[in-house]
Amino acid sequence: MKTIEDINKKIRNGTAVVVSAEEMPDIVEKESAKKAAEKVDIVTTGTFGAMCSSGLFLNFGHADPPIKMQKIWLNEVEAYTGVAAVDAYIGATELSLDRGMEYGGAHVIEDLLLGRQVNLRATAYGTDCYPRKNIETSITIDDVNQAFLFNPRNCYQKYNAATNSSDRILYTYMGTLLPGRKNLNFSGTGELSPLNNDPTYDVIGTGTRIFLAGAKGYVVGEGTQHNPGKAFANITTKGNLREMNPKYLKAGTVADYGTTLYLGIGVPIPVLNEQIAKNTAVRNKDLKVTVFDYSVPRLSRPAIREVDYETLFSGEVDLNGVKARASSLSSLKIAREIVKELEDWISHKEFYLTEKLEGLPKDTVFKPMKMSEKITSISKVMTRNVVTANEGDSIEKVCNTLVKKGVDQIPIVDSRNVIKGIVTSWDITKATATGRKRLDEIMTKKVVTSSPDEAIDAVSRKLEKHSINATPVVDGKGVVVGIVTLSDINKFYRGGK
Amino acid sequence: MNTYELTYSTENSGEPVLSRVIKETKASVNILKANIDFDHGIMVIGIVGDAKDAEKVVKAFRKYGLKVREIKKKIALDKEKCMDCGACIGLCPTNALNFDKKKKLELTEEKCIQCKACVKACPVKALSIEE
């Protein structure tokens, strides 16, 4: 029907008809896909959200005497230098040595874009051609040769939503998840999301010119973990940092998870035929994602339900009777501004479409990691003969048991051996100091428990997170079937068990 | 609603101070935060009613030996920094944070109980508590 060249001609003449992906569904519904394809030339799409898989290639130029730069730090954030001398790649999620999660690779990229001074420190082993072993200097974006973003996994078509069924708060890459399914976090811009408007991957591909954080960037090709079979496509992008707009590139910290780069991407979809018109008429209510329970620290988490983007954007999602507040981790407002800006570029003849050189793969699969070892569950390392005490026991009795059995903590159980609390030797010490007599006054009632099939690594993380030395292992009914201590886990890691 | 922080000590953390105060003053008290061990702890409460009601309740708490401090801190939203992602919205226990019709983040200060959940969750530090 239409070609990219036809559309570019219209852009040149100022007659190209551009509508946003939020406007297209009504047009197609009112006038049919055929008529819409004749009338509309370009559908603008956009997204703005956390894109961890982003980073910046830099070339610093050579020092005198020259240095190979084997290891480098920018504002104490390490960059990868396993390429040619004085080239480096700084990834968004690399954390700083001095400020941890407060400041990372994403912040270095943002600081450079804002024209700020960045401290550069490098070391090397010294060669005949690169004799220098150390250097420390301060640079801005104007001092480097190249500074381009190269992002291996951007612009996910859509993303699964997250909630938390446990009784403890979780800090994840999907944001903060409150206990008891109180909230639900999701990502993406639904019907406005670029790849949702090209679900058969016929339009967007290698060489597609895009809006990348306010610059004209390009699609390099499929992204890492590109998963077309599940409608989880993504792209690798490239663009010049110098041309970007800080409004569409922001460094952030996801609480207790790490640093990330919030990026804005806009993709123009040329309406070449009726099918493309139909595809770009997709509505939020037709785009579904699965809500997963992140309280299970395993690769396959339990799915709670499917939910569409219309419901997600409403701000409230019913999770089997519990009303969870839904928060987006992407900004629909900024995504709309990107779509508008892209439209302005086109109408001002500043942006022309490109023909893709190669489409995104339609048949690749996303495999899990090949593991050379089997997952070990804590039931393998736990002590099955658990020393317990009853709620009614005196502190003195528990004290004796602690000493006699040589343990540091005792789970407190009822007559059916169901967990009611836990008492540590430190609790006993405090009780003695303050003159408390009853066990239920001093025991911790909100016990961090584990189930027998949990992986050792997950339990190890749990102990570390809560700063505790042991976790009672309970079955589905809360009956104590074992206990795992830090030393059990350490023994396992050392190969003792 | 007036917000107060109560500090319990070894002497009173085992006592049913709160229920005694409520019985005596017949006040409506909203527990916003509680972290009480057997030997110390803090509780943050909101007292429903006007300043006079609040004064009565505060007096009663002090009678039982609790330290009482009014929380006058205010939540602040830096609109320059905010990117309207909404990561804070689902965490707010009192719906003080919301999107307007244009998906712009809105803060209703009066509803805020200074729980700070949003402060930690904001990726770009656009939310803060100021004295």
Strand order in the sheet with A100-104: A100-104, A95-96, A77-79, A71-74, A118-123, A134-139
Nearest by CB to A175, which of B87, B99, B125?
Answer: B87
- Report residue B28's pLDDT band, with 50, 70 and 90 as the boundaries: confident
* A442 contact B CB<8A: yes
Mean pLDDT of A186-207: 97
* A183 and A214 Cβ atoms separated by less than 8 Å: no
Lowest mean pLDDT among A56-65, A395-404, A434-443: A434-443
Nearest by CB to B85, which of A256, A324, A328?
Answer: A328
* A34 and A274 Cβ atoms separated by less than 8 Å: yes
Q: How far is CA A257 from CA A101, A171, A260, A409, B120, in A?
A: 8, 6, 9, 31, 11
Checking if the pLDDT of B39 tops 80, the result is no
Touching A: B residues 84-123, CB under 8 Å: 84-92, 98-99, 102-104, 117, 120-121, 123
Checking if the pLDDT of A497 tops 70, the result is no
* A402 contact B CB<8A: no
Q: What pLDDT score was predicted for residue A496?
A: 54
pLDDT in tens, A265-319: 999 999 999 999 999 999 999 999 999 999 987 778 889 999 999 999 999 999 9
* A181 contact B CB<8A: no
> Which has more confidence, A367 or A189?
A189
Give the residue from B91, B100, B102, B125 with the most A CB atoms within 10 Å of its CB, the best one to mutate: B91
Q: What pLDDT score was predicted for residue A71?
A: 97
Nearest Cα to A475, choosing from A409, A410, A393, A382?
A382
* A485 and A469 Cβ atoms separated by less than 8 Å: yes
> Which has more confidence, A399 or A41?
A41
Chain B residues lying within 8 Å of A441, measured CB to CB: 14, 38
Q: Could B124 and A252 be called an inter-chain contact, meaning their C-beta atoms sit closer than 8 Å?
A: yes
Checking if the pLDDT of A127 tops 50, the result is yes
Chain B residues lying within 8 Å of A183, measured CB to CB: 90-91
How many Cβ contacts (< 8 angstroms) between chains A and B? 83
Type of residue at A186: F
Active-site positions of A?
129
Nearest by CB to A176, which of B10, B102, B121?
Answer: B121
Nearest by CB to B83, which of A176, A250, A441?
Answer: A250
Touching A: B residues 19-48, CB under 8 Å: 38-39
Min Cα separation B121/chain A (Å): 5
Nearest by CB to B121, which of A255, A333, A441?
Answer: A255
> Which has more confidence, B13 or A159?
A159
Q: Could B124 and A333 be called an inter-chain contact, meaning their C-beta atoms sit closer than 8 Å?
A: no
- Report residue A90's pLDDT band, with 50, 70 and 90 as the boundaries: very high
Q: What pLDDT score was predicted for residue B1?
A: 67
* A251 contact B CB<8A: yes
* B124 contact A CB<8A: yes
* B36 and B43 Cβ atoms separated by less than 8 Å: yes
Mean pLDDT of A228-248: 97
* B83 contact A CB<8A: yes
Q: Could B38 and A431 be called an inter-chain contact, meaning their C-beta atoms sit closer than 8 Å?
A: yes
CA distance A50 to B85: 10
- Report residue B126's pLDDT band, with 50, 70 and 90 as the boundaries: very high
Checking if the pLDDT of A23 tops 70, the result is yes
Containing B32, the helix (H) or strand (E) segment is strand B29-36
Write out the E strands in A312-431.
316-319, 322-328, 358-359, 389-390, 409-413, 419-424
Nearest chain B alpha carbon to A174: B87
Min Cα separation A173/chain B (Å): 11
Min Cα separation A244/chain B (Å): 17
Min Cα separation B78/chain A (Å): 15
Type of residue at A476: G
Q: How far is CA A132 from CA A77, A123, A143, A195, in A?
A: 21, 8, 20, 48
Residue A93 CA neighbour count, 13 Å, CB half = 13
CA distance A232 to A221: 15
Min Cα separation A75/chain B (Å): 18
- Report residue A432's pLDDT band, with 50, 70 and 90 as the boundaries: confident
> Which has more confidence, A497 or A88?
A88
Residue A50 backbone dihedrals phi, psi, to 5 degrees: -70, 120
Determine how β-strand A419-424 pairs with β-strand A215-222. unpaired
Chain B residues lying within 8 Å of A252, measured CB to CB: 123-124
**Total-model pTM:** 0.83
Checking if the pLDDT of A347 tops 50, the result is yes
Type of residue at B89: I
Q: Could B10 and A441 be called an inter-chain contact, meaning their C-beta atoms sit closer than 8 Å?
A: no
